[in-house]
Structure 1
Amino acid sequence: MDNLLKFIVSVLLSLLFIRFCNGGEFIESKSFISFLVAIDPNNVLNVDRNALFSYPCYYKLHGVKCDLRSEEIIEIRLENMNLSGVIDAESLCKLSNLRVLSLARNKIEGTVPESISSCKSLTVLDLSSNFLSGNSLVLMQSLTRIKNLKKLNISKNNFTSSQRMMSLHALRRVTIKESSSSTTVSDDKKTNNHHVSLMVWVLISLGTVIVLVVLVFLYMRCVGTVKDKEVIKEVVDYPSPRKTPSDEVVDGVCNTEEKSSELYFFMEDVEKFTMDDLLEATANLTKQGICSSLYKVHISRSGVFALKRLKKLQVGFKEFSRTMKKIGSLKHQNVLPLVAYYSSNDEKMLIYKYQNSGSLLTLFEKGKWNFPWNLRLSIAVGIARGFAYIYRSSKKGNVIPHGNIKPSNILLSDNGEPLISEYGYYKFLDPDKSCLYKDNGYTAPEKTLTEETDVYSFGVILLELLTGKVVEKTGLDLVKWVKSIVREEWTGEVFDSEVANYEMYAFPLLNVALKCVDRLPDERPTMTEVLEIIEEIVNDQEDISPSSMTSFESTPGSMKHVYAL
């Protein structure tokens, strides 16, 4: 027993001696220095590379974080450091435990070598705002081989194929972050000095010796019971009885939340496709947000679809499926129909027909000088009709508010009909992740999900239609601006030049909009009441006939409406 203990202690001391004599970390030190020389050839970081060579983790280098136990580099955050070199991926990937690499906002040039896919431990990679070049598609194909990669930002560089067309196999593995994000550089206080690290290793080694001694002692005690153990093993290895049908049913019920769903379709006029078809299709990222991503997906035999990939949802499989089936049952000319949905514990996707005509925001941006009054009024009526239908279709106590009404979420059909999109899933978003209640100019002061808050957001859109001023993308507090004009009794100054020609009809609509954006939720009208008032305004217009349904022309004193009322 004494000889065994001496042997164990000698082995551990030998291992410690080898470690502290630059054994394993020699390669890591050399690799890190090679990477640093390539990325910072002018030594902007002012690093003493001779001191760094002994061991990087003992050198308090700003932005480099090491693991306390293994003393390996796990994070490199050299952001906004004026670095102007190239990326030496081969040396970088020899840092086998590197999890975070952030080189954002520098002047790094050249391409990102495909060998970066050898950095198997990477979970975060931020190369945004540099002068990197090359084919982004080739780069993405390399990066998808890093299975642990969760956050990626390569925006604001000189890559070609910037639309990032790739298969959904890749998209399910890696999230492309389009907008720049500021990451916090590790504080120097987190870097542990040599003495603390050495002390920790000594304590760990002594603890290991004690554990081994205890294990040897227990083993010696158990030697005499080997025969008994063999008898027990025979009993344990005896085949267990088969599960009864009732047992299988119970297992099925318990595991329901863990099961995945196939695509569930709602529209019969769409040729159905499978998840395999979807995963093999080419997807073009069109919009990226904190809580969702939107892709334009081409499926050869079925057409073009908009795929909404949802993130940060706080909902189980059953509740999500139940809600989507309710949304899928809605059929109205002013509500974008849900074609299908997919739901599993890991991922949730909504699929719609792709709308080529853009959105109300597109109309605001492109039609500043050609946005006639009749078209504005018809869009207002269409949106109100869609929301009135949604709320009439909901049972009391089971209402699903929209929660994100704004011009970019009002799509336009091929014949100019407004289509309410993005409906039904906002109630599942995590409010702590800045997904809900954004201060974007459309959110009601009370910041809740109710019909009253949807009415408020719709009121802001009415003000946009009347004033020609757009809140989205500008951040204008339109409600405050309009109320200040009205308070000064300069109400006629609210309207833009096109609407000013129809003041007689615009004033009642302005009155409705101001009621919708009342600070007190109880003072706001319902969607049904809003629709009734707007339809009365339309009925008061002159020269409305079914023959003018498709006309977008307008002249003062006349109105050719695009809807049959």
Structure 2
Amino acid sequence: MAPAAALLLAAAVVVALACLALADPPASEQSALLSFLAAVPHERKLGWSASTPACAWVGVTCDAANSTVVKLRLPGIGLVGPIPPGTLGRLKNLQVLSLRANRVSGTIPDELLRLSGLRAVFLQDNAISGAIPPGVSGLAALERLVLSHNNLSGPIPFALNGLAALRALRLDGNRLSGKIPSIANPGLKVFNVSDNMLNGSIPRSLASFPADAFAGNLQLCGTPLPPCSPFFPSPAPAPGMSPSDGAPGGTGKRKKLSTAAIVGIIVAAVVVALLLLLAIVFCCKRSRRGARTEGPKGTAAAVGQTVTTRPPPASGDGTGTASSPKDDAGTSGSVAGAGAGAGAGEASRLVFVGKGAGGYSFDLEDLLRASAEVLGKGSAGTSYKAVLEEGTTVVVKRLKEVAVARREFEAHMEVVGGVEHRNLLPVRAYYFSKDEKLLVYDYLPAGSLSAMLHGSRGSGRTPMDWDARMRSALSASRGLAHLHSEHKLAHGNVKSSNVLLRPDYDAAALSDFSLHPIYAPSSVRAGSGGYRAPEVVDTRRPTLKADVYSLGVLLLELLTGKSPTHASLQEGDSGTLDLPRWVQSVVREEWTAEVFDVELVRLGASAEEEMVALLQVAMACVATVPDARPDAPDVVRMIEEIGAGHGQTTTEESARATTSEEERSRGTPPAAPTP
């Protein structure tokens, strides 16, 4: 009997395994997937067929029993158009949906919000528009929601606060507006709403996230961003009401002052008026005594001996340390909110530096009268676009947390202002007072490489082609090589937002270089976000090799189209990877083609060999060991060899063209100096 029982048991196991192997999701789910693929145009063939089990299809994952679809991952396959109704919403047990890096458009379908088992939704890098539906609150099991780099608009729904399981929320790179709701999910570990149009103060429940999570929202304030402006007046009381009418616990009735109180107020007012009058008389006498003592050159003496006058641009070469011609007449001004803090011996004027300052003719008062527009906020300070009355446009950077004294600041600005190269954007002028430090740069209207590469993806803009990216890579490398080899200076903050474009990509310029010496060592960060070299800690100064690492990350950014500071590079439960480690993981699995930006593929880029070669250069730059990285001049040479025949000028041609290039591509100074 025992052998027979064993035989029956074995037969039962075989039958069970056969049934399990033949198991397949319900016909409704298979039909829903086929309907979805048939209704949405796509560039890559997936080989889905009704004659094969759905659980074996590319991108489809079923549960352990192969009885239902639990995951659908179709990233970067060229899907175009909206998600058709009656398709994905029929996958009742779906847990993970990934359609990232496609061209999915339209709004977020309501039927997806009825899939209560969804744990992760990845729809980043598409063209999805409309608002985030409040119905998202129905996804009680949702842990990860990534909608970055779409065209979403409207407010962030407060309904997200009800998702108790939410661990990651990324809404960066959209057009969301309004205030950020107070999302107080205790398990929320990843949060990013940067590069939107949000305003108001950041809720306390989200203040623990880094500043990068909120950057790019010009009207957003509060921790961890700069504090909100205190200049907005309190609301006025309604007509016919006193300020105490609506106060808690108030009676709503006006209290009459006693006669003694009225007399006391009048006496106090008279005493204050007499004291003010005496103070005015004393100040007038003192200023007259000082004028007699100093003579007609008293104002120039207060400016300081370190500032020398510059002859008018028409009669001089404009070289060396210089002040504006208007300063020669003794004109001085004060920066709003800071002029009062400038003590005796501090110059309330701009100091022009370098050869390129010769075409400018304005002073601090002109700058204060200029119309200003916020361009961006960074770790070094806030940058403004200033349009002067005479037509000149410049960029003014308002520095924060400067830790050096005036003499060290001036000496360093002389060094930085003396750097001249077509691929570098030097300081043109500076202002220093006790409470305010300003830097003036040329204005380049074409914007930054970051905006060109990542701005409004999928909204109909023209993406950067391969030739433009190669030229930008070469420009950044040449600028860094000049800074390293000719001046022995570390840049300290190489990133795509600091690569400013000119009409010809060969002349793109690295900005904000070598500012780290004016900050305290504890606040210096060599590179920001995902650009920082692994060996650099907060208490160390930037190095030349750390710059090369940041340049390597920039090259990877050009190749992948992913922002190192914002991109979500991994979907699994293990969190996100930095860009170099993500590329290494993809290349290790021999999926090198998956590394490159889908926009390059859409443009039909046919330079695969050059892209792979540049990838090798970038990976050499991001080597973990600093000594294993090439020097910046070597990087230039390798990129020139890759791009030979694509119109890029060589290093020697670049050097010969430097002088004329500086003249025609600086900024937008006036056509002629102001007399």
Q: TM-score, normalised by structure 2?
A: 0.42
TM-score, normalisation: structure 1: 0.49
